[in-house]
Amino acid sequence: MRFDPKLSERIEILRFPLIVGIVFIHMYTDEIRFSGTLAQHNPFAMTTEYLSDILARVSVPLFFAISGYLFFFAFDGTMAAYRKKMRSRLQTLVIPFLFWNALIFVFFAIAQNLPLTAHYFTGERPLVLSYGLWDQIQLFFGFGKFAYPVAYQFWFIRDLIILAALSPLLYYLLQKAAFWVLSILFLLWLAELPPIDMTSWFFFTFGAWLAMRRFDFEKSGRYALLIILLYLLLSIVDVLTENLYIENSTVLVGTAAIFCLSRYLVQFEGLRSRLLQLAKYSFFVFAVHEPLLSIVRKISFKVVAPQSDWTVLALYFFAPTVTILSAIMLYHLLARIAPSLLKLATGNRL
């Protein structure tokens, strides 16, 4: 069955905005301090919480759902299809994962031991050279005592590699007992049992189920506006409360709502064209935004030393903007002077 070009375009225009959302998730740290102690009592804190901890939180689940859908759309569970998929994921997932974690490992090994830079890379980050070989291997890949790889945003890619490797099992289970599989994964996701984050498992598998069912996104479009409005209502309630059920409902509805939003975005030709142009930068921005964002954030807060909520809020927008623009400029530089390296680093996403 041929992949719907309209659906492909809707997915493509979401890639860059979702990556921007991930950058803002990682901007939301303890360094962002406002005069009010509770977000409910401070409009500045509410703004950052609403953007980073509510709106942007949809990015990761939606990426996993899209990944599951794209993987299983043309997957029939056979070994021939499995080998073809894994050859593709070797280039798009495994090689970039190894490349960026090796690069960041070396970067931290140097930066954490230079007097000039050590202050910026200690404390919240593991001291990579202080561990033995086995611990360094665990840190590199993100398993054992380390929940995240050394390039920690690549936990997303690590989980995609694992899920792709297990795709024949997932295909079989969804064929035989889709309701029970999705129900169990959903409950595990709700439970938030440490140390495993079930976000990747539930949303990837849900996307896979939609692909196997050949879900008709065009027919479901009649509910798009209603879903978007429901999400906006839930998101406002979410920022005003501290209710876990509301938080989870907001993520679930938000994942559907943002995808529904793409139905309307493609209708604005100028916006559609610009988002399609920006889509090619998505993976590279994802790959380099950390530790670049941390560096920009730490330096900007140290230089400015904000004394007002307005200044803190300005820096909250400044650091991600500088990070994203710097990543795009670096992409263009590499495209000119080292296109083969850029191709390797992005998994041939040029």
Please write the tens of the pLDDT for every residue from 286-325. Answer: 999 999 998 899 899 889 988 888 999 999 999 999 999 9
Give me the pLDDT at residue 155, please.
95
Q: Which residue, chain included where needed, has tokens 């990543």?
A: 327
Is the predicted pLDDT of residue 158 greater than 70, yes or no? yes
Sketch the domain layout of the chain as residue ranges.
1-60+235-350
Mean pLDDT for 147-165 is 94
Token output for 67: 């990944």
Which letter, b or e, does each residue of 126-161 get, where b requires 16 or more Cβ atoms within 10 Å of its Cβ?
bebeeeeeeebebbbbbeeebebbbbbbbbbbbbbb
Q: Is 77 helix (H, G, I), strand (E, B) or coil?
A: coil
pLDDT digits (tens, 9 = 90+) for 254-278: 999 999 999 999 999 999 999 999 9
Residue 243 has pLDDT above 60, yes or no: yes
Query: What are the backbone angles phi and psi of residue 346, rounded to the nearest 5°?
Result: -105, 5
pLDDT in tens, 81-94: 999 999 999 999 99
Sign, Cα dihedral of 224, 259, 239, 248: positive
Mean pLDDT across the chain: 91
Scanning the structure block, which residue is given the tokens 């977000």?
Answer: 39
Q: Cis before residue 195, ω within 30 degrees of 0?
A: yes
- 204 touches 68 (CB < 8 A): yes
- The string of pLDDT tens digits covering residues 15-68 is 999 999 999 999 987 667 777 554 456 888 888 989 999 999 999 999 999 999
Residue with tokens 């593709």: 88
Dist CA 112 CA 98 (whole Å): 21
Could you tell me the pTM of the whole model?
0.93
Q: Which of 232, 265, 266 is nearest to 249 (CA)?
A: 232
pLDDT of residue 31: 66
Q: What local confidence, expressed as pLDDT, does residue 38 receive? A: 47
| pLDDT of 123 strictly over 70 | no
